[in-house]
Amino acid sequence: MDRTHLLNELWEYQLKFGYISEKAISRISKKLKVSIVEVESVTTFYHFFHQKPTGKFIVYLNNSIISDIKGHEAVKAAFEKETGSTFNEYGDNEFSLFDTSCIGMSDQEPAALINFQPFTDLTPKKVKGIIDSLKNDENVKDIASKTKSKIQYHPEGDKAIIFRSYEMGKSIREGIKYSPDEIVDKISKAKLLGLGGAFFPVGYKWNSCKNNEADTKYIICNADEGEPGTFKDRALLQYLPGLVIEGMVLAGYATGAKEGIIYLRAEYQYFKKRLEGLLEEFRKTKLLGKDILGVKDFDFDIRIQLGAGSYVCGAASALIESLEGRRGEPPVRTWSATKHGFRHKPTVVNNVETLAYASRIIELGEDHFLSLGTEESPGTKLISISGDVAKPGIYEIEYGTPIIDMLGIEMSQATSPYFIQVSGPSGECINNTEFNRRICKEDIMCGGSFMVFNRTRDLLNILRNFMEFFKEESCGVCTPCRAGNYILNEKVKKMQRGLASQEDIKEIKQWGNIIKLSSRCGLGKSSPNSLIYAVEKFKDYFNLKIPPTNEFLNVEFDMQDAVQEFDSFIKDTQPELDK
């Protein structure tokens, strides 16, 4: 056993004892032959590993902006009242409460995980009922919500690529009619882009992995969707997991990889067993394992690796570090994963949605895919719409769809939309002069999160939530990201207190650019986006909040003068005090 088993070992202790003790760390260190310091450093990196004892029930309440606008504060207070515990404090209560970032339930907020079971659409009354039931020894699983994302088909009928009927094994059966080269060719011709947010051409990635000779290669499914506001990958894994598995098998066939790993975010572990059951069914029907569908030497199998709570692990390089049993800190890389990836072997990392589309392209043919969408971004895209809309859910849209249509009566039915955040906090905001913009490569791409806010929402509150998120999630290895996001967050707080000047707006832009230019990974490079775009696109709002000059703030502060003034004050008042 080597250190790639480290996360699993830590999970075993965490789930069994509620925390990872010093003794446990020492045992794991001996078992995996990894130093105690290293095991400890991995343990402290991940959000869901605790080093202090927790109660019988661990509650993680989502504090994302969508949760916030749907009543998070009242629900948080209810949890504290009903359990007698305080958030983010360890104690000897049987309930331990913690804040957490988006748990992939933005269509059903406020939501929480209790012992990693989902509880959605929470209200103070509902919280009381849940806590009473738990105190009465009811089973957590039995009282958990049945998550029920609404899946909306758009365009209707035949044009849907993902949300159409599914037949187990159909794309693999279709795929083996072609050679691996032809499969790569089909994916390339379809111009499929990686849908985890980077939009890298998938055919290029598969081709590069195929061409790199090695005894072992890997296909990794990135199921660590953590961008606040997105929940499409969860829905895919719950409703159409077979499509994702088949995409992995086809990627293995095309590249020569024989091993697949689904890196499943810890927040989604409540359906891990169901996924494992499906993998077993695939094995039984010869769709996984040795000589798949009777094709000699076409061997491929998949295992699931649970993450442990870290947004940055959604980045491929950090995800690989995590799989190798390290802190999920993105390394400085001068090579691509398709050459030196997991265990330094050629590796394809594709996200859940990308693999589902790859599977459909092989099943339906690249021409079907190319007949939809735009020149540069053919096909359709899954979008998670949440916020101030009557119909939150997952929408399959054709690339090129205008934002106004997504807000309209046929789709999400937004109410007085004012501020739209496309692609989550790391993306771009849209104001109401831009609703005719289209979701496509020629205009604005969307990774999947589409959050709508109406006029009653406080823009600074939204931006502060985003900056708090990045401040928390920065892994801290590079200074611009670690310190810069802290500074930007302080700037937003200063604006909220009414103490900011136009100088702060200038500094936001300067700091934002420094962070973007000098950070190591995608988190830092995109974290200032929401703030930079907002101050540009909502100038009227910021001009109202921040006067053009602020006389009080422009008074120069002289420390020496202040000290002298204080000394003379003491001298003057001391005799009075001595009386």
Which spans of this chain sit near ligand SF4 (rule: CB under 6 A)?
312, 329-330, 474-478, 481-482, 519-521, 523-524
Please give the Cα distance from 546 to 503 (Å, whole number): 10
Which C-beta is closer to ligand SF4: that of 394 or that of 481? 481
- Three-class secondary structure of residue 190 per DSSP: coil
Encoding tokens for residue 355?
A: 């693999």
Which C-beta is closer to ligand SF4: that of 486 or that of 541? 486
DSSP 288: S
Please give the Cα distance from 441 to 530 (Å, whole number): 19
Query: What is the smallest separation between the CB atom of 506 and ligand SF4, expressed in angstroms?
Result: 23
Encoding tokens for residue 26?
A: 């020492």
CB contact set of 143 (below 8 Å; sequence gap of 6+)? 130, 133, 134
Query: What is the smallest separation between the CB atom of 463 and ligand SF4, expressed in angstroms?
Result: 19
Q: Which of 421, 312, 368 is nearest to 192 (CA)?
A: 368
Encoding tokens for residue 107?
A: 């269509």
Query: What is the smallest separation between the CB atom of 67 and ligand SF4, expressed in angstroms?
Result: 23
**Sequence-ordered strand ranges (E) for 324-379:** 347-351
Rounded (10°) CA dihedral 158, 160, 166, 170: 80
Query: What is the smallest separation between the CB atom of 45 and ligand SF4, expressed in angstroms?
Result: 11
Query: What is the smallest separation between the CB atom of 46 and ligand SF4, expressed in angstroms?
Result: 14
Query: What is the smallest separation between the CB atom of 481 and ligand SF4, expressed in angstroms?
Result: 3
Query: What is the smallest separation between the CB atom of 329 and ligand SF4, expressed in angstroms?
Result: 6
Q: Could you tell me whether strands 259-264 and 218-223 are parallel, antiparallel, or unpaired per DSSP bridges?
A: parallel
DSSP 258: -
Query: What is the smallest separation between the CB atom of 312 and ligand SF4, expressed in angstroms?
Result: 5
Which C-beta is closer to ligand SF4: that of 464 or that of 520? 520
Cβ(253)–Cβ(176) below 8 Å: yes
The string of DSSP letters for 112-134 reads: EEETTEEE-S--HHHHHHHHHHH
Tell me phi and psi for residue 444, to 5 degrees: -130, 125
Which C-beta is closer to ligand SF4: that of 124 or that of 476? 476
Which C-beta is closer to ligand SF4: that of 347 or that of 519? 519
Cβ(255)–Cβ(384) below 8 Å: no
Please give the Cα distance from 381 to 400 (Å, whole number): 10
Tell me phi and psi for residue 335, to 5 degrees: -135, 165
Show the DSSP H helices in 474-555 as ranges.
Answer: 479-496, 502-518, 522-526, 529-537, 539-545, 551-554
Residue 449 pairs with which residues in a beta bridge?
384
Q: Report the residue count for the chain.
A: 579
Which C-beta is closer to ligand SF4: that of 72 or that of 265? 265
Cβ(72)–Cβ(110) below 8 Å: yes
Which C-beta is closer to ligand SF4: that of 325 or that of 524? 524
Query: What is the smallest separation between the CB atom of 467 and ligand SF4, expressed in angstroms?
Result: 13
Which C-beta is closer to ligand SF4: that of 104 or that of 330? 330
Which C-beta is closer to ligand SF4: that of 520 or that of 537? 520
Query: What is the smallest separation between the CB atom of 376 and ligand SF4, expressed in angstroms?
Result: 28
Query: What is the smallest separation between the CB atom of 514 and ligand SF4, expressed in angstroms?
Result: 12
Please give the Cα distance from 484 to 286 (Å, whole number): 52
In the bound state, the residue with its beta carbon closest to ligand SF4 is 524
Please give the Cα distance from 350 to 461 (Å, whole number): 34
Query: What is the smallest separation between the CB atom of 319 and ligand SF4, expressed in angstroms?
Result: 13
Which C-beta is closer to ligand SF4: that of 196 or that of 256? 196
Please give the Cα distance from 326 to 46 (Å, whole number): 10
Which C-beta is closer to ligand SF4: that of 197 or that of 378? 197
Query: What is the smallest separation between the CB atom of 347 and ligand SF4, expressed in angstroms?
Result: 20
Which C-beta is closer to ligand SF4: that of 424 or that of 524? 524
Please give the Cα distance from 359 to 187 (Å, whole number): 10
Query: What is the smallest separation between the CB atom of 181 and ligand SF4, expressed in angstroms?
Result: 36
Give the CA distances from residue 314 to residues 230, 309, 317, 522, in Å, rounded to whole numbers and listed in that order.
Answer: 13, 10, 9, 10
CB contact set of 530 (below 8 Å; sequence gap of 6+)? 421, 425, 426, 427, 428, 429, 463, 466, 467
Encoding tokens for residue 462?
A: 């939204």
Cα 194 to chain centroid distance, Å, stands at: 15
Element (H, E) at 244: helix 241-255
Query: What is the smallest separation between the CB atom of 487 and ligand SF4, expressed in angstroms?
Result: 14
Which C-beta is closer to ligand SF4: that of 330 or that of 341? 330
Cβ(270)–Cβ(142) below 8 Å: no
Which C-beta is closer to ligand SF4: that of 175 or that of 341? 341
Which C-beta is closer to ligand SF4: that of 341 or that of 524? 524
